[in-house]
Structure formats: structure tokens, C-alpha cells
Structure 1
Amino acid sequence: MTTANEPIDLDDLSRTTYSAVFSDVCDAAGFREQTLEPGLRLQAGRSGVLVGWARTAVSRPVTQIPERPYGGEIDFIDSLNPGDVAIVDCSGRPAAAWGELFSTASVGRGARGAVIDGYVRDIDKIDALGRFPVYGRGSRPTDSLGRVSIQERDIPVCVYGHTIHPGDLVICDRDGVTCVPRAFALEIAEKAREKATTENAARELLLQGGYLRDVWEKYRVL
């Protein structure tokens, strides 16, 4: 089991692994429902593999501007730590729950990206940051103020059909998102590195003209 004192090199995982290999390793470990349902896409920021620790929040519908505008959002984003990925459930109402300044503040806190079950805005300005990927259902210019607000954080949240707990390891790329329970993150990460290395060797053999059946027999990956 992983403890808070056992480090994981998130940058190395971003370079050497990807969501599908983590999903395969989770399957082999008996965790067979660890991917988010289709529907999310990279909306803004750099492409590649995003790996980090889940920080969760729920943005619920409201009917008027709160007494403290953006108060829940400010508290949540100001609480982010290096290595965090913001996971926000904003499925209750179709306003934009994430934008440029939220992303900019998150970069300043050392967070690595965001996964929004809802909509995003300020796409070009988030792109200009160059290093903060934001995943969501789509984009919409409608502001969240007086429509939705973050009312809970650091609790289990259900996004894209899967419950993510605070501190889970999330791996996001163009295939989608795989989520690994924190208690097993170190073990799963090590095996994901090993499997990715094996798949690289299998790929080289195939490019050299090797038969798929022989690659399967030798490496047991496809």
C-alpha cells in the first residue's frame, strides 16, 4: 500500500506511461472498473499524458449570486498543492465551471491539470499557459456566477460514471482517464512502467516484421 511518505515521480510517469497501460495493470490486479466513461475531451492546454493526485470538488446549481462571489472556487483552488489534479463535478447545470484565471491560479499552486464533468471557457487563454491541460465535456462562454458554485470539496465525487476519492492517482490522455486507488498507487505505477517497457519491445519486434502471434507468445501484450 502507498503511504504519504512514499514518493511517486509524476513527471516520469507522464513520460513513460499512459492511461491504457494503467487500465490493463488495474485489470490484472482485480480493479476492472477504473476508467471514466467516454464523453470527456481535452478542451484546453497541452496534450500528452497528465498524471497527478485527485483533489475533488462538487459545484452545485444556485439561483442567485452568493454573498461571497466565487467563494467556494477561491477556497478550493487556493488549497491546491503541487502534483494535484482538480476533479470537479459540475454536471448539475450547464455553465462553465472552469476558465483561464482558475487555471492560472492552479498553475501558480503547482497543480498539474483539471478534469471537469461539465463545461470550460477561455480556451485560447488556457492554451496560452502552455502547460495546464483541462478536460471537460465541451466549452461554453456562460459564467458560473449565480448559476453554479463549489459547495463541497475533498469528498468522493462521481464524474463520468466513476467515483473518484481524494488522493487517488489519475492518468489522463487522449484515450480518457484511468483512476487508481491511492492505497495501491505505488504498486500499480511500478507495474505500469514495466508493462509500458514490455510494450515498447513488442512494438519494435512488430516493426521489424515479427508476427503478432509470436509477439503475443513472447510478451503476452497486445
Structure 2
Amino acid sequence: MAGPLMDNDLLDLLKSVDTPTVCNAIEVAEGRRGFNRFTRGTMLCSDPDGGAMVGYARTAKISALAPPTESADVIRARRMDYYRYMAEGPRPAVTVVEDADYPNAIGAYWGEINTTVHKGFGLSGALTNGVMRDLGDLPDGFPVVAGSIGPSHGYVHVKEIATPVKIFGLDIHPGDLVHADRHGALVIPDTVVPDLGQAIRKLLDTEQIVLGPAREPGFNFEKFEAAWAAFEKART
């Protein structure tokens, strides 16, 4: 189940900022450091300059290293169940697919056809620890944040639908609110959603207390010291 629904203003704001900003803003909203629902390690983005994907997680698990052991009819039916599931549910939504073969994933599930289908379903992007391909041919407005790039789909098949998944150390449940970009991904806690817009704006404003002087000619330690004191005061 999805958590508290976002209004359009919050959605637009989340899409306009990067994932590190949201990570910091969650700590502002919570009033403490220590937020840890984010991916670990380096991920790859199909469109590094395309901005963030934001949405409620639609989850699944796949495998591609070996042929499926179940019957072709079972695999075919589950595939259609998967696409039906991805086409349904609250929007905005992000498809989050764990490759069970990780860290030895070889099946490029996210190529031109599959990304185009998911975009057509109204999904905002794909997050996976698995493989993407067809770079340069993927549709605009549907970023893929993945674990690797490769040429083959292997024996890719769907194993589970709408179950909890783990992507680069981040546990994601169906309906979790996900924010992801070229830096990785995070899950936004339900408890901060009502205050997150204000927290992002406060964060952006207070950052300018240091960034403004640092970008001006004649910046030195004394000006930094004064700016940092004002910055720390504004954060409390």
C-alpha cells in the first residue's frame, strides 16, 4: 500500500531536486542526523542529466543466469501478471526490480522495448540492481538507475511480483515512496511527507548562506567563518 499521497506541489518540488538534497532534507524534517534508507555503492543512470524519478514502488524479482525450472505456461502467466501489476496502482509510480542473480547479473531486462512499455504504463522510471542496455535508444523521460550495463537478456524471467526487494543494500516494500537519480536511491519515510516540502525549501535557502559568499570574488577564511556561523544558526 502507498503511504500518504503527495500533492502536485510536493511532487514537482521532488522532481526538481537531486537525491542528495532529499536525503539531507529528510534529516531536516526529522530534526536529526542518521537517516539511512538509501542505496550503498555506485549505481549507473541511463540519463544522468534527466533529473529524478519519483513515485510509489511497484516491485518484482527477476533472474536470468539459468533457464526457469517452471513450465513455460507458468512463466508466461506470471509475465502477464507482472505487466498487469505494473500497469495498475497509484501514480506516480516507480518500478523497482531486484535481480536475484546480483552481483553476477547478466540479463539486461531494461532495454528499449521494456522501458517503452513501462513508460507507456505511466511509470516514472526503473530502479534495479540488475542490467540495462540499448543506451541511446531508451525513451526520454524514463530514467533507469541500474547496477550495470550489458548486451544480453540471458534467460530473463520474472520470479516474484509485489514482494519486498533489496537494491544495493536498500530494502524497498511495495508502495514505498522512492526518489532516485544518478546518485542512487532512497525511500522517503511516510512520517516526513507532510513536512518535506518545507524542509527542502529551508535546506536550499540555508545552503545559499555559504554558497553565495563562496562564489563571490575576495572570498577568504574570515568571510567563510562569518558565513558558516550564520549557516549553523539558520539550521537550528
Q: TM-score, normalised by structure 2?
A: 0.77
Aligned to 1:218: 230
Aligned to 2:26: 26
Tell me, yes or no, if structure 1 residue 152 matches structure 2 residue 160: yes
For 1:17-49, what per-residue CA distance to the aligned partner results, in whole angstroms no more than 9, with x for missing partners?
A: 221122223345255212201131103475223
Give the Cα–Cα distance (whole angstroms) in 2 for the partners of residues 5 and 175 of structure 1. 25
Tell me, yes or no, if structure 1 residue 63 matches structure 2 residue 67: yes
Kept after mapping to 2: 8 A contact 1:97/1:116: no
Structure 1 residues 189, 179: CA separation in 2 closer, same or farther (over 3 Å shift)? farther
Give the Cα–Cα distance (whole angstroms) in 1 for the partners of residues 197 and 160 of structure 2. 29
Structure 1 residues 132, 5: CA separation in 2 closer, same or farther (over 3 Å shift)? closer
Mean alpha-carbon deviation: is it higher for 112-121 or for 46-55?
46-55
Structure 1 residues 184, 152: CA separation in 2 closer, same or farther (over 3 Å shift)? farther
Give the Cα–Cα distance (whole angstroms) in 1 for the partners of residues 192 and 91 of structure 2. 20
Amino acid corresponding to residue 79 of structure 1 in structure 2: E
Give the Cα–Cα distance (whole angstroms) in 1 for the partners of residues 141 and 5 of structure 2. 27
Match for 2:141 among 131, 134, 153? 131
Aligned to 2:94: 85
Give the Cα–Cα distance (whole angstroms) in 2 for the partners of residues 216 and 191 of structure 1. 19
Amino acid corresponding to residue 122 of structure 1 in structure 2: D
Match for 1:199 among 201, 204, 207? 207
Secondary structure, counterpart of 2:46 in structure 1: strand
Secondary structure, counterpart of 1:55 in structure 2: strand
Kept after mapping to 2: 8 A contact 1:117/1:159: yes
Secondary structure, counterpart of 1:124 in structure 2: coil
Amino acid corresponding to residue 10 of structure 1 in structure 2: L
| 1:35-54 equivalence runs, <5 A | 35-44=38-47, 47-54=50-57
For structure 1, the residue ranges without an aligned partner over 5 or more in a row are none
Kept after mapping to 1: 8 A contact 2:106/2:153: no
Q: TM-score, normalised by structure 1?
A: 0.81
Kept after mapping to 1: 8 A contact 2:87/2:122: no
Structure 1 residues 48, 26: CA separation in 2 closer, same or farther (over 3 Å shift)? same
Match for 2:112 among 100, 123, 145? 100
Aligned to 1:172: 180
How many residue pairs get aligned? The number is: 215
For structure 2, the residue ranges without an aligned partner over 5 or more in a row are none
Amino acid corresponding to residue 95 of structure 2 in structure 1: A
Cα shift at 1:88: 0.6
CA RMSD, Structure 1 to Structure 2 (Å): 2.7
Amino acid corresponding to residue 162 of structure 1 in structure 2: L
Kept after mapping to 1: 8 A contact 2:180/2:186: yes
Give the Cα–Cα distance (whole angstroms) in 2 for the partners of residues 193 and 52 of structure 1. 20
Cα shift at 1:104: 1.2
Give the Cα–Cα distance (whole angstroms) in 2 for the partners of residues 45 and 81 of structure 1. 26
Larger Cα-atom Rg: 2
Cα shift at 1:216: 1.9
Cα shift at 1:205: 2.6
